[in-house]
Structure 1
Amino acid sequence: MNEDEMRIWNMWKGSFKRIFGRVVKEMSEHTGLSEGDFGVLDRLVQFGDGKLRQQELADSMDWDKSRLSHHLTRMEKRGLILRKPLAADRGVQVVITSVGKSALDDALPIVSKAIRKHFLDQLTDQDIESITKLAERTKK
């Protein structure tokens, strides 16, 4: 890579990290949820109607089994989720609790507002078109 290519790569990474960090910070300050907490709760609702097999959850988050297991233990202690053994195949099902659902419901508008403020409101129509084209090309 030449200097210009390295510069654009670093700019892209830095912009993403700053924007993402601001969104997570606002969410955490208002709700007490971490990025991981939100990711787990959101996936349980979005992909599993409130419950998912632990392995499916790990795969959707691109986390290894151990990392997810430790995180779920902390979330379970806070009453956000429950883990239930699945007798048929020795798997584990992760279920969002009413406390977890309430926490997610509280976080969603804060996350949406922060995404709008720190990302979407900064974009022109041309930016949106370029980002969309890039995302389409790189999703393969």
Structure 2
Amino acid sequence: MTEGPWLNETEQRAWRAYLAMSKRLATHLSRDLQREFDLSPQDYEILVCLSEAPGRRMRAVELGRATEWEKSRLSHQLSRMERRGMVSREPVPGVRYPEVVLTDRGLAAITEAAPRHAAAVRAAFLDALGPERLDRFAEACSAIARRVGAVEAERGDGPC
């Protein structure tokens, strides 16, 4: 890639297309989750992590790593979800921090929302790419994630 102070026309077009797509897709999927299931994207992310964890439970620090959220953001989100009965925080003997546990209500929420959310992702995202571009897109995203990780490691400012 060219090393200059500004992006060239092709780089600028690709970057802005990515930003527009990312924002529009996230907004679309967020509205759908909110409208259909009264779930925020943050609720959904926590529900997915916990539903896939052994015993439907995780230490808060592991959940923070999985979501790449700061402690305070995670704590506030968990408090909101706890008030709605979707998660609970349970003390663990001999451990300073409680485990976050997916409740039956939280499991019911993700079980109901997941098929519709998968259909929305398929309709808005996967079908637009088509099977011929899907692997290339996944490889490009993985390459970007690896590069961001390397840059963060060089700077010493990686995820929480």
TM-score where L is the length of structure 2: 0.81
Q: Give the residue type in structure 2 aligned to 1:20.
A: A
Matching residue of 1:29: 35
Q: CA deviation at 1:39?
A: 0.6
Query: Are residues 1:62 and 2:68 paired?
Result: yes
Which segment is superposed worse, 96-105 or 119-128? 119-128
Unmatched tracts of structure 2, length 5 or more = 1-6, 147-160
Matching residue of 1:53: 59
Query: Are residues 1:76 and 2:92 paired?
Result: no
Would you say how many aligned residue pairs link Structure 1 and Structure 2?
140
Q: Deviations over 1:42-74 (max 9, x none)?
A: 100113431000111011101011111111111
Q: CA deviation at 1:139?
A: 3.9
Matching residue of 2:155: none
The answer to which structure, 1 or 2, has the higher relative contact order (CA under 8 A, 6+ apart) is: 1
- CA–CA distance in 2 between the matches of 1:124 and 1:30? 26
Structure number with bigger Rg: 2
Query: Are residues 1:109 and 2:115 paired?
Result: yes
SS in 1 for 2:138: helix
Q: Give the residue type in structure 2 aligned to 1:130.
A: R
- CA–CA distance in 1 between the matches of 2:138 and 2:107? 31
1:88-103 alignment runs, 5 A limit:
88-103=94-109
Please tell me the root mean square deviation across aligned C-alpha atoms, in Å: 1.5
Matching residue of 1:121: 127
Q: Give the residue type in structure 2 aligned to 1:30.
A: E
- CA–CA distance in 2 between the matches of 1:101 and 1:66? 24
Q: Deviations over 1:20-42 (max 9, x none)?
A: 22112111111001111111111
Q: Give the residue type in structure 2 aligned to 1:79.
A: G
- CA–CA distance in 2 between the matches of 1:137 and 1:27? 29
Q: Deviations over 1:78-112 (max 9, x none)?
A: 10010012231211100011111000111101110
- CA–CA distance in 1 between the matches of 2:103 and 2:135? 39
TM-score where L is the length of structure 1: 0.92
Q: CA deviation at 1:126?
A: 3.3
Unmatched tracts of structure 1, length 5 or more = none
